[in-house]
Amino acid sequence: MAYYEILLDFDGNGSEGSGSIDPEDLAEACDLRVSQDFQRYFLPAVYWIIFLLGIMGNGLVVLVMGFQKKSKNMTDKYRLHLSVADLLFVLTLPFWAVDAMSSWYFGKFMCVAVNMIYTLNLYSSVLILAFISLDRYLAVVRATNSQAMRKLLAERVIYVGVWLPAMIMTIPDLVFAKVQSTGTKEICDRIYPHEGNMVWKAVFHFQHILVGFVLPGLVILICYCIIISKLSKGSKGQALKRKALKTTIILVLCFFVCWLPYCAGILVDTLVTLNLVSIRCYLERGLQKWILITEALAYFHCCLNPILYAFLGVRFSKSARSALSVNSRSSQKFLTKKRGHVSSVSTESESSSVLSS
């Protein structure tokens, strides 16, 4: 669910407050209405932009992957998993856009369903990125004997390492997601028990940071650092290596630029909520705006995924043109002949091409 929801409900519901501030003393303590007005205009516009871009990019990837009914390699399979996760994720954004702009009109069932879909695909997309980095590490660093391991990861382990943990993460949505009236609007959010309310929130925020950023981020960083070190050595295929290095650096930077500011904001806000850090009122309002803006930046990563992991690849671009071409049958035959050379990872230069494919 959108993080901004936990920053709102002070209109007669003390259980959704921040820290130990009493709702009756809120106006005197800190007026947060500026952030609320800001999010009513900012979030809906950004959510609709991400929705449209995400539908087009990820939808095209799914279409092209469906067009390639045969000869999918491990990279293709990860692309398909990632695009499905991102596609389902962006489908929840119109609901949150309407909720941020006005109120929740979709009932309790849709509140629980949308929260579960949102959480499932938020975690799965990030974990799939970690699997992609691990796959590319095996393809480049252990190119001569990694084919069996890569196939096992792409076809079996991904369900246990990505989709199962992501499904487990939806259990709190099933238990706590509810529709609640604030007096002026209906909101859809996780409503925790009044006793220990702040502790519940802190636990799930730390879970988000750990599982949704820190662990996959470490896997991505370590794997790509080793890949960069590997590609930097040797003298063969320098042009291909430079392209692979450039692509690798872009992948790492985009992940951390998109997700690090948002997770840092959640961390600081959680520490403030637990009264472990004390900040002034204007800094708290600034922190809320920071979270709103960086949340949109983090979600924008699902629009970048098709570009970073699909459209930058020459082979995928050819496949996309074939899928959209009137003469797709002849183009497909051409691609099928060429695909046999690309799928091999027996040499260092072929392994390097996995990064840019």
Query: What is the per-residue pLDDT across 146-159, written as a single tens digit (0 to 9) for each?
Result: 888 888 888 889 99
Tokens (6 digits) for 199: 């502790």
CA–CA dist 68, 55 (Å, integer): 20
Please report whether residue 207 resides in a domain.
Answer: yes
At residue 37, the 3 state secondary structure works out as helix
Give per-residue burial for 287-320: e unless 16+ CB within 10 Å, then b: bbebbbbbbbebbbbbbbbbebbbbbbebbebbb
Token look-up 């996959």 returns 216
CB 284 within 8 A of CB 272: yes
Tokens (6 digits) for 271: 């520490």
Residue 111 has pLDDT above 50, yes or no: yes
Residue 71 has pLDDT above 70, yes or no: no
Instruction: State residue 62's pLDDT score.
Output: 83
Percentage with pLDDT > 90 across the chain: 26
- Expressed as residue numbers, the domain containing 50 is 36-231+240-320
Token look-up 């997309």 returns 125
Please report whether residue 301 resides in a domain.
Answer: yes
Q: How is residue 178 annotated by DSSP?
A: E
Instruction: State residue 253's pLDDT score.
Output: 86
Please report whether residue 196 resides in a domain.
Answer: yes
Token look-up 């692309």 returns 79
State the pLDDT confidence band at 210, using cuts at 50, 70 and 90.
very high
Give the H or E element holding residue 188. strand 186-190
CB 20 within 8 A of CB 275: yes
State the pLDDT confidence band at 262, using cuts at 50, 70 and 90.
very high
Instruction: State residue 247's pLDDT score.
Output: 73
* pLDDT tens track for 132-188: 889 888 888 887 788 888 888 888 899 999 999 999 999 999 999 999 888 888 889
Please report whether residue 327 resides in a domain.
Answer: no
Please report whether residue 92 resides in a domain.
Answer: yes
Please report whether residue 5 resides in a domain.
Answer: no
CA–CA dist 300, 279 (Å, integer): 29
Closest among 28, 1, 2, 204 to 10, alpha carbons compared: 28
Please report whether residue 76 resides in a domain.
Answer: yes
At residue 22, the 3 state secondary structure works out as coil
Q: Per the structure, how many domains does the chain have?
A: 1
CB 257 within 8 A of CB 292: no
Q: Where are the alpha helices (DSSP H) in the chain?
A: 26-29, 33-67, 74-91, 93-101, 107-141, 147-152, 158, 164-168, 171-176, 197-209, 215-232, 238-273, 281-306, 314-324, 328-342, 348-356
* pLDDT tens track for 327-337: 445 444 544 54
Q: Is the dihedral of CA 265, 267, 270, 272 positive or negative?
A: negative
All residues at 6 or more sequence positions from 63 whose CB lies less than 8 Å from its CB, including other chains: 323
CB 140 within 8 A of CB 352: yes
Domain of residue 177, CATH code: 1.20.1070.10
Please report whether residue 12 resides in a domain.
Answer: no
Closest among 354, 343, 287, 276 to 71, alpha carbons compared: 343
